[in-house]
């Protein structure tokens, strides 16, 4: 429509110019003439005809060259129009693919996204969304293929592609592959918050607590997690590392790790209990006997009391004396009385052991107290009372199992 208006406008201007030129020249008594000679040829005409012909000729030549220019540009215009059509279709396909993915139509989304990816202005989004759709339907080979195509189409988007790849690996519990990708991204950009956050999640899900321990300072520096989350993560990491060291049973490794733990974590009852238990498990309970006693003197905790009773002390008599110093403050703590009975048995003081265990049972019967008292009575030759203790212990254990099953169902 615009071209037609240009044409009609130009034609109108040309005709108007010819009309006014004819009228103006026709007003003269002698409008003049024009003579053009070429070799033996000559052309003579009136000035009016020449001017009008010149104007019309200019218009004709103008239209000819415009048409010639349009013909020369036509292939490029056709090509661009085709590109625009394909681009618009790819945009529509991207929207349709995203909608299908959101609705769970994975295969449909994958097909439409890949079909139009090469003509899109954002092929990266097509391939990454298609990779997620492929994984959602279990096509992991296709997922990896689309991620590779994304890297080929957008070579400067390593972080975006790597983050998507790591997320997909994590969701499939492919921790090794996820950590390889995230470690590479961390090398590219050590301060990238999303990379650090995913790296922390990958270490945590893979159970690599040493990796988390090394990552914590970076998480804190770049404010990837809140301060409270950092402290909670640090506490969990050191707790897990202590448990792992305990499983290996190397006291020197446990002590080295404990020396590297911040004081505010060491002072937590749960963490200190893990350390004391690990040392006892490693056969180095004598090394932590004093520290365990000081911890109990500061903060009373039944878990620490039980651990104190399990310490392989070099001087059991002194160990019992230390424990009895707490008796005036905790005279009706059944767990503590059981531990005193156990230590008394170790010292060979059967009368005192029987007294402590009997009192513990009267306050709160436990399977361990019944078993210790039964063993003690059996050694003393009182088999009837010993059998009664074992019987009551078994009944108590059975009732606890039944209660646990009832709680589950």
Chain centroid, CA 131 distance in Å: 17
Tell me if 108 sits within 8 A of 100, measured CB to CB: yes
Side-chain-side CA neighbours of residue 105 (13 Å): 11
DSSP 126-143: HHHHHHHHHHHTT-HHHH
CA angle, residues 354, 357, 358, in degrees to nearest 5: 80
3-class secondary structure, 302: helix
Crossing angle for the helix pair 47-103 and 123-136, to the nearest 10 degrees:
20
3-class secondary structure, 325: coil
Q: For residues 75 and 154, what is the distance between their CA atoms, to the nearest angstrom?
A: 29
3-class secondary structure, 191: coil
DSSP 95-128: HHHHHHHHHT-HHHHHHHHHHTGGG-S-HHHHHH
DSSP 196-241: HHHHHHHHHHHT-HHHHHHHHHHHHHTTSS-HHHHHHHHHHHHHHH
Crossing angle for the helix pair 350-363 and 334-347, to the nearest 10 degrees:
160
Q: For residues 172 and 102, what is the distance between their CA atoms, to the nearest angstrom?
A: 19
> Which residues 6+ apart lie within 8 Å of 14 measured at CB?
55, 56, 58, 59
Tell me if 335 sits within 8 A of 309, measured CB to CB: no
354 CB burial (10 A radius; 0-12, 13-18, 19+) = buried
Q: For residues 132 and 146, what is the distance between their CA atoms, to the nearest angstrom?
A: 9
Q: For residues 72 and 77, what is the distance between their CA atoms, to the nearest angstrom?
A: 10
| pLDDT number for residue 60 | 75
| pLDDT number for residue 152 | 82
Q: For residues 230 and 85, what is the distance between their CA atoms, to the nearest angstrom?
A: 52
The domain over range 315-409 is classified in CATH as 1.25.40.10: yes
| pLDDT number for residue 74 | 66
Tell me if 359 sits within 8 A of 333, measured CB to CB: no
Run of H or E residues at 34: strand 33-38
| pLDDT number for residue 138 | 84
Angular region, 283: left φ>0, alpha ψ -120 to 50, beta rest: left
Q: For residues 309 and 322, what is the distance between their CA atoms, to the nearest angstrom?
A: 11
3-class secondary structure, 186: helix
Q: For residues 71 and 82, what is the distance between their CA atoms, to the nearest angstrom?
A: 17
3-class secondary structure, 46: strand
| pLDDT number for residue 31 | 61
| pLDDT number for residue 88 | 58
| pLDDT number for residue 255 | 93
Look up the pTM and report it.
Answer: 0.66
Angular region, 43: left φ>0, alpha ψ -120 to 50, beta rest: beta
pLDDT by residue for the chain (409 residues), tens only, comes to 565 666 566 666 666 666 666 666 556 556 666 667 777 787 766 666 666 677 777 777 777 777 777 777 767 766 656 555 565 566 666 666 667 666 777 777 777 777 766 666 677 777 888 888 888 888 888 888 888 888 888 777 888 889 989 999 998 889 999 999 999 999 888 889 999 999 999 999 888 999 999 999 999 888 888 888 999 999 999 999 999 999 998 999 999 999 999 988 988 878 999 999 999 999 999 999 999 999 999 889 999 999 999 999 999 999 999 999 999 999 999 999 999 999 999 999 999 999 999 999 999 999 999 899 999 989 888 888 899 998 998 988 888 776 555 555 4
Question: Which residue, among 330, 307, 331, 302, has the nearest Cα to 319 in the 3D structure?
Answer: 307
Q: For residues 19 and 11, what is the distance between their CA atoms, to the nearest angstrom?
A: 12
Return the HEC string of 334-349.
HHHHHHHHHHHHHHCC
Question: Which residue, among 225, 302, 287, has the nearest Cα to 255 in the 3D structure?
Answer: 287
Q: For residues 115 and 113, what is the distance between their CA atoms, to the nearest angstrom?
A: 6
Q: For residues 282 and 277, what is the distance between their CA atoms, to the nearest angstrom?
A: 9
| pLDDT number for residue 391 | 92
Q: For residues 236 and 261, what is the distance between their CA atoms, to the nearest angstrom?
A: 12
């Amino acid at each position: 429509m615009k071209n037609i208006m240009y044409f009609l406008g130009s034609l109108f201007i040309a005709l108007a110019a010819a009309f006014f030129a004819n009228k103006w020249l026709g007003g003269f008594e002698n409008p003049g003439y024009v003579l053009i000679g070429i070799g033996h040829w000559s052309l003579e005409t009136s000035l009016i005809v020449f001017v009008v012909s010149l104007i019309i000729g200019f218009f004709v030549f103008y239209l000819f060259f415009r048409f010639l220019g349009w013909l020369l540009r036509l292939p490029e215009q056709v090509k661009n129009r085709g590109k625009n059509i394909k681009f618009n279709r790819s945009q529509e396909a991207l929207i349709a693919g995203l909608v299908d993915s959101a609705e769970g139509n994975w295969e449909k989304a994958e097909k439409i996204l890949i079909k139009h990816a090469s003509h899109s202005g954002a092929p990266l989004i097509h391939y990454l969304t298609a990779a997620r759709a492929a994984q959602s339907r279990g096509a992991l080979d296709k997922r990896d293929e689309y991620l590779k195509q994304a890297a080929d189409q957008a070579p400067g988007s390593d972080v975006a592609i790597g983050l998507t790849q790591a997320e997909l690996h994590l969701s499939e519990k492919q921790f090794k592959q996820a950590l390889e990708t995230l470690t590479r991204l961390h090398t590219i950009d050590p301060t990238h918050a999303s990379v650090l956050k995913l790296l922390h999640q990958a270490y945590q899900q893979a159970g690599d607590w040493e990796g988390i321990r090394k990552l914590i300072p970076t998480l804190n520096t770049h404010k990837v997690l809140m301060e409270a989350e950092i402290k909670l993560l640090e506490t969990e990491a050191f707790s897990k590392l202590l448990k792992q060291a305990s499983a290996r049973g190397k006291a020197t490794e446990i002590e080295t790790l404990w020396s590297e733990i911040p004081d505010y974590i060491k002072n937590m009852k749960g963490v200190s209990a893990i350390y004391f238990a690990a040392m006892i498990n490693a056969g180095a309970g004598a090394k932590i006997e004093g520290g365990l006693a000081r911890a109990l003197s500061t903060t009373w905790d039944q878990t620490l009391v039980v651990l104190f009773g399990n310490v392989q002390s070099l001087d059991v008599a002194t160990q019992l004396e230390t424990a009895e110093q707490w008796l005036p403050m905790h005279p009706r703590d059944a767990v503590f009385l059981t531990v005193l009975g156990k230590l008394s048995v170790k010292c060979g003081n059967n009368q005192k052991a029987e007294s402590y265990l009997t009192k513990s049972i009267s306050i709160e019967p436990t399977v361990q107290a019944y078993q210790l008292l039964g063993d003690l009575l059996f050694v003393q030759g009182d088999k009837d009372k010993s059998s009664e203790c074992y019987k009551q212990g078994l009944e108590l254990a059975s009732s606890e199992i039944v209660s646990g099953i009832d709680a589950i169902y």
